[in-house]
Chain A
């Protein structure tokens, strides 16, 4: 869930017509001081970070006058709360609270509907209070097909004990909040506390909105950079990986770097499919490994996506092993994963042992590709199939990591072509990559394995050299699936005449 900061949520509330205290977002103590002229002497400074119990951690402070604001702002801006460095503050006018309320709207999976909760009490610790006295909360399931009506809101607020003008003021907040929940496609929207001020206004004093990750694409106005919930700011590799995923709709690639670093051996973890990945992570942890990251490539991704995933993972520091493991019985054709890994392992090149469980469709071909094409590397690369369990594979990796003396000897180096590739033919691919050929080498090539290796069958021999059967435009629009077969087969069985370049913005520069 993509969470919004308090100030972002409040901006949305304000636009939706819900009252919020006058306030400003600042990034420095000087700016904090200058707000006092607009907001008055008594203000509250609130650290804008995603963490629960901000107040208890000292992230919310009151100040009186400019001399008071500066040191407090400086102090807050130096803090780190729940893993997040505080880089901005919301400075708000202090309000006199007459009464606190609680409002929450969230997607409830057990009824497949949005649910609204409203309570005539609110503030910190409200979850516990409501948990022990559920009769204080009014709960309503909302319709997705009809809009939420004023009379429904009034009924809820009346049930919570409100009458007259106050009923009217509070129920109008409910209607606006539900409208906002729908329009920004939130998974949850919580206002706690919603307050009545001494001077009779109804204001949202805090606001937490989490937007559905899958809907972020149709809400550019929210300015969400990474549609994911992270427990810390995104790392450089997190961002690079997110861009790869955004620019390639085929299959799913998910990556987060972990920051738990201890003295256990750190490995790169490459899962496939959510369930199998979680199980494989457990297996790796049982072997005493510390995971540098969590990666998942699944949903039938092309070889190029697996390649980019592996490259990003191998850019992590202090890795002693590479563990790939999914469910063990994948419906997707596993040679795509194998080819992606081979390209990444050869180009990086790999310096740590790798154990990869490739069970599933075409697993024999996949394991053979992986092992044969990396056999000349100085580190072992082992492929496993559906009959090998995740636990056994994790154990095997542990053995390889602990005992370099037991590594099998590398195979013979493939025949290298010393000379530079002279590119004289090529075409673009769907993710901004290039497939380039040196046709002069093709004249010496007896078998032209690239033609038969190309799964989508878009290559053909014209005057003895491979060319596209289709237009370059069609190739660039996805007919070239970036399966990497032409490059690898030509490298090992042809004249090393193909070079596929798949840029990963931010990684190589």
Chain B
């Protein structure tokens, strides 16, 4: 098994006719993701990579039956509309790839999703990849690279940075440590599927033994993850690295989520919370693969 996505997941791409939509649909198809069709309002009746394009998600459901997941590639100001459309059409997992989605839009999506029990990854996410099975989003960029970089196995990865998600997957695979699923939870201040969600999903996955988490300064995700470990909800071993040690307080870097407000979300508070909860927190990123190896060997 794996979390969130495998080769059987039935997938729809919203915004399939755009620049990114086209290119990343190619990646998903080549990697083996079960993409059935796409939508772009106003472009119904067309085709992309041999897949039919519909005007609405509702119409796509009429032709293909229910979808498990929708990957969204529309421009940031239109993401809310697309996400709410997918939720209304019964899709229960959304991947919001675009960057710069207004935060109040995200809050609205979150509230509607909560009401019906839908989950969304992102926004500002590379997506999720279960090696050898399927990818949602753009992780790996190209199928041949994704196949070479990420080996299947039993370590789950979650990260607030897209590039680092790939980097962890790559360095672990190079060491011969395979991965169950890698998920980029997104770099924004408010995200749907967060580190705490990922930890719980990996905990419930019989094919994940160890969890690797890349955290960052800002937001409360790592502190909440630590709480889940401390109260026994998450019992699998967690190896973590927290980025942004030398970032000044109050300075925002390119990740909107990486801003320290007051004492909340500082590097020290995260490292401390996770260490106290029993996670193995490495202080140098380059030490991560070795630390994971040690934990895997000790199982």
Contacts and interface: CB of A to CB of B under 8 A. Distances in A.
A391 B107 contact: no
B112 interface: yes
Interface in B186-214: 187, 189-192, 214
A331 B252 contact: no
B197 to A, nearest CB: 11
A368 interface: no
Q: Which 6 A-B pairs rank lowest in CB-CB distance, beginning with the nearest?
A: A275-B161, A327-B163, A274-B255, A273-B163, A331-B141, A296-B254
Contacts of A114: 107
Contacts of A391: 284, 286
B255 A275 contact: yes
Interface string B64-107: 00000000000111000000000000000000000111111011
Given A275-B164, A279-B285, A281-B246, A107 B101 contact: no
B111 A185 contact: no
B130 interface: no
27 contacts: A107-B103, A107-B189, A113-B111, A145-B112, A214-B102, A218-B77, A231-B250, A231-B251, A254-B254, A273-B254, A274-B161, A274-B216, A275-B159, A275-B243, A275-B255, A276-B164, A278-B243, A279-B243, A279-B285, A327-B164, A329-B169, A330-B163, A331-B166, A332-B141, A390-B285, A391-B284, A478-B19
Contacts of A271: 254
A182 interface: yes
A277 B160 CA distance: 13
Contact of A273 (B162, B169, B262): B162
A328 B102 contact: no
A298 B253 contact: no
Interface stretch (B39-47, B50-58, B217-225, B268-276): B217-225
Contact of A285 (B104, B171, B246): B246
B216 A275 contact: yes
Contacts of A389: 286
A127 B261 CA distance: 13
A145 B107 CA distance: 9
Nearest to A332: B141
B170 A212 contact: no
Contact of A274 (B141, B189, B246, B253): B253
A109 B220 contact: yes
A229 B259 CA distance: 10
Contacts of A215: 102-104
A326 interface: yes
Interface residues of A, number: 61
Contacts of B155: none
Contacts of A229: 250-252, 259
B102 A212 contact: yes
Given A110-B220, A298-B163, A277 B108 contact: no
Given A109-B221, A113-B110, A254 B253 contact: yes
Contacts of B110: 112-113, 144
B100 to A, nearest CB: 5
B136 interface: no
Nearest to B100: A214
Contacts of B166: 327, 329-331, 360
Q: Which of B20, B166, B170 has the most CB of A within 10 A?
A: B166
A276 B161 contact: yes
B107 A113 contact: yes
Interface in B116-152: 126, 138-142, 145, 149
Given A113-B110, A218-B102, A294-B253, 8 more contacts: A112-B190, A229-B250, A274-B254, A275-B187, A275-B214, A277-B253, A333-B141, A361-B145
B127 to A, nearest CB: 10
Contacts of B189: 107, 109, 187
Interface in A313-356: 326-333
B178 interface: no
Interface of B: 19-20, 75-77, 99-104, 106-108, 110-112, 114, 126, 138-142, 145, 149, 159-164, 166-167, 169-171, 174, 187, 189-192, 214, 216, 219-221, 224, 243-248, 250-259, 262, 284-286
B172 to A, nearest CB: 11
B124 to A, nearest CB: 9
B48 to A, nearest CB: 16
B252 A187 contact: no
A229 B255 CA distance: 13
A329 B104 contact: no
B131 to A, nearest CB: 14
A275 B219 contact: no
A144 B107 contact: yes
Nearest to B251: A231
Given A294-B253, A331-B166, A144 B104 contact: yes
A43 to B, nearest CB: 31
A96 to B, nearest CB: 32
Contact of A187 (B103, B187, B220, B255): B103
A327 B167 contact: yes
A330 B251 CA distance: 25
B137 to A, nearest CB: 9
Contacts of B191: 109
Interface in A384-432: 386-387, 389-391
A299 interface: yes
A300 interface: yes
A47 interface: no
Nearest to B285: A279
Contact of B108 (A145, A279, A360): A145
Contacts of A333: 141
A425 to B, nearest CB: 26
Contacts of B214: 275
A139 to B, nearest CB: 15
Contacts of A390: 285
Contacts of A484: none
Q: Which of A114, A144, A213, A391 has the most CB of B within 10 A?
A: A144
Nearest to A295: B254
A184 to B, nearest CB: 10
B190 A328 contact: no
A275 B163 contact: yes
Given A281-B246, A326-B163, A331-B140, A212 B252 contact: no
Interface in A66-115: 107, 109-110, 112-114
A328 B214 CA distance: 15
Interface in A140-161: 143-145
Q: Which of A249, A331, A389 has the most CB of B within 10 A?
A: A331
A151 to B, nearest CB: 20
A8 interface: no
A279 B164 contact: yes
Contacts of B160: 275
